[in-house]
Structure 1
Amino acid sequence: MNTFMKTTLAALAVAALGVTAASAETRITYKSAKTGSSYYQMGVELAEAMKTGTDGALIVTIEESQGSVQNVMEVKARGADYVFTTPPALVGLAQQGKAMFDGKGDPKFDEIRALFPIPSLTMHFVMSADSGVTDLMGMEGKQILLGKGSFGATEGEKYIETFGLTDKVKIADAELSNAVAALKNGQIDGFVTAGSWPAPNVIEAAASTPVTVLSLTDEQIAQTGRTKLVIPAGTYAGQDADIQTTSLPVVAYTTTAMDDDTAYALTKTFWESKAKLGDTSPWWNGVDQDLMANIAGKIHPGAQRYYEEAGIALTDAQK
């Protein structure tokens, strides 16, 4: 064999190896929340878990989002590599063309499929111990910081109205980022925040001053129309009993455009990495098989394969 032929064959062999390596790597775009938020950080942690758990076969790129509605809307223009997070209720509204999706419907919304749950948005009503408040109705006459523009602020305002506390609670005019300092300095009696638990700002507040994180009764939770969630005793400093509160479930979704093997690998790697994720960030410990019941809609066939193998029961509506 002459030198030219040997060189040509060697080049072809290298090229073939390159094609094989490239085909073994699947790239995913993961769209969740604003940079700096806990949910963006979760995305970063998930990306690392996917890379490690698949030996680099799944490469996840995190993309900043302006919110869950945007995540759903982008399904119209995205392809098989798109994974996004949103509450299941928004998927239902999109598929029905209701509320914020009125007049903005698209057949692609019907192709949305769930993969796995992630930490829920959890309501926290945090009161200083000095305020003496031990239940929701005790907030009457107190100075409460709700913040502005967030889910927690909107939800907190709704609860104040629902439980007849409108005009009975003094709403502090300040940003939620100032809540811990304001509570410690006695400028406010409490604040309302929503996020995954344990929530960093609640951890900080409990570590710096005695606080009480309020529990809601079963009747109050039913009145809110939200999902009940229990924060275990000992989650926050000074918390010696479970906290009953409300939550908004959040789920990682894709569409039927994603192939079954990729959806299977994403779902399997998530659950098999969850314990290690929890060692790094405790909010992952709030995710367990019980949250599967919060997925109101169909689960991707590839993810279904994993759940069947793992012995995790799905409802008929999820299949």
Structure 2
Amino acid sequence: MRHFICATFTAAMALGLAAGPLAAETRVTYKSAKSTSSYYQMGVQIAEAMKAGSDGDIIVTVEESQGSVQNVMEVRARGGDYVFTTPPALVGLAQQGKAMFEGKGDPAFDEIRALFPIPSLTMHFVMSKDSGVASIDDLDGKTILLGKGSFGAREGEKYLDLFGLMDKVQIADVELSGAVPAMKNGQIDGFVTAGSWPAPNVIEAAASTGVTVLSLTDEQIEMTKRALLVIPAGTYAGQETDIQTTSLPVVAFATTRMDDDTAYALTRTFWEGRAAMAEAAPWWNGVDEALMANISGKLHPGAVRYYEEAGFTLTDGQK
């Protein structure tokens, strides 16, 4: 499936741009994730917000992708019309030619610049109430579903290993899509999932069977080398306290080939539409100025102009 984000910024004054209007029929491709994922749905919501926030002058259609690595790799063949989502850590690896980018370096990677954060991939250790598990230390002897091939599965396995639990738990051979039914019929004591919060499968499990979403200690979070994220009390049915867990930041990026006015308009319209998006989908409640700290690389100059006008605090490394 291939689509394009078409933007005709002829009404730039309506957006309050200080610079002159952008060239007519500016085209931008927003590449997100698989069409079945929550991140693809976020892209659709961003498209709707862009259209509403610009009185129809920014019209967005989302392009499906097979994952964050592919999104970064395509920078090599794309022009100034390309916007994509990926964790900032992958951009750093691409620019250094490390890990999955070893031997695949390209000068185009150095042109990548951030626009705005989107909901982070958030780790959930979800245990049934009947399991009696209240903390990570209680997992000894329990049956856990990790899923297969996903970020959450890889991260969950890494955490169990870090916490000395890999040989103490039984890993269920069930796909993540079957987690809630497996929990209901007692096949598993819990499952691990990663995605934006609130996570649909965790909402379903909490409402149908009753669950405890485990908090990690400060020491455990430090061991994972991931960013701290707090899921507020009341996010899931029966959740009376905040959940302290980890996350992998995800950001929308462009490159320096995009002109400054386009980057400015996209960034401004995103932030001005965020509250409306949150009313329709609670995962946008987790996106606020605090997430800007997770952008480890440089922002696009057009985005910097918006953030400075809006009073955001930026680091020297982001400018």
Q: Is the 8 A contact 1:160 1:166 kept in 2?
A: yes
Q: Structure 1: which amino acid aligns with 2:88?
A: P
Aligned to 1:6: none
Alignment of 1:41-80 (within 5 A): 41-80=41-80
SS of the counterpart of 2:164?
coil
Q: Is the 8 A contact 1:128 1:190 kept in 2?
A: yes
2:312 equivalent to 1:302? no
Aligned to 1:157: 157
2:167 equivalent to 1:167? yes
Distance 1:196 1:143 in 2: 24
**TM-score under structure 1 length normalisation:** 0.92
Q: Is the 8 A contact 1:140 1:168 kept in 2?
A: yes
SS of the counterpart of 2:273?
helix
SS of the counterpart of 1:46?
helix
2:200 equivalent to 1:203? no
Q: Structure 2: which amino acid aligns with 1:239?
A: Q
Structure holding more helix per residue: 1
Aligned to 1:240: 240
2:93 equivalent to 1:93? yes
Aligned to 1:285: 285
SS of the counterpart of 2:29?
strand
Distance 2:311 2:76 in 1: 33
Shift of 1:24: 3.5
Alignment of 1:111-260 (within 5 A): 111-260=111-260
Distance 1:271 1:24 in 2: 23
Distance 1:294 1:166 in 2: 30
Q: Is the 8 A contact 1:25 1:56 kept in 2?
A: no
Query: What whole-Å deviation, never above 9, does each CA across 1:159-217 have from its counterpart, x for those lacking one?
Result: 01111111211000010000011111111000000000000000010000110000000
Distance 1:120 1:23 in 2: 33
Q: Structure 2: which amino acid aligns with 1:209?
A: T
Q: Structure 1: which amino acid aligns with 2:212?
A: T
Distance 2:140 2:181 in 1: 22
Distance 1:50 1:25 in 2: 15
Shift of 1:56: 2.1
Distance 1:23 1:220 in 2: 51
SS of the counterpart of 1:49?
helix
Aligned residues: 301
Structure 1 unmatched runs, 5+: 1-17
Alignment of 1:21-40 (within 5 A): 23-40=23-40
Distance 2:25 2:268 in 1: 17
Distance 1:197 1:107 in 2: 35
**TM-score under structure 2 length normalisation:** 0.92
Query: What whole-Å deviation, never above 9, does each CA across 1:87-121 have from its counterpart, x for those lacking one?
Result: 00000000000000000000000000000000000
Distance 1:184 1:238 in 2: 17
Query: What whole-Å deviation, never above 9, does each CA across 1:263-301 have from its counterpart, x for those lacking one?
Result: 000000000000000000000000000000000000000
Distance 1:223 1:238 in 2: 28
SS of the counterpart of 1:198?
coil
Distance 1:81 1:170 in 2: 48
Which aligned segments of 4 or more residues in structure 1 are displaced greater than 4 angstroms?
A: 20-23
> CA 1:224–1:186 in 2, change beyond 3 Å: closer, same or farther?
same
* Mean CA deviation greater in 79-88 or 50-59: 50-59
Distance 1:153 1:255 in 2: 31
Structure 2 unmatched runs, 5+: 1-7, 12-21
Distance 2:230 2:27 in 1: 36
Shift of 1:23: 4.8
Distance 1:136 1:75 in 2: 40
Shift of 1:57: 1.9
Q: Structure 2: which amino acid aligns with 1:79?
A: G
Shift of 1:25: 3.6
Distance 2:162 2:228 in 1: 17
Q: Structure 2: which amino acid aligns with 1:216?
A: L
Distance 1:184 1:30 in 2: 38
SS of the counterpart of 1:241?
coil
Larger Rg: 1
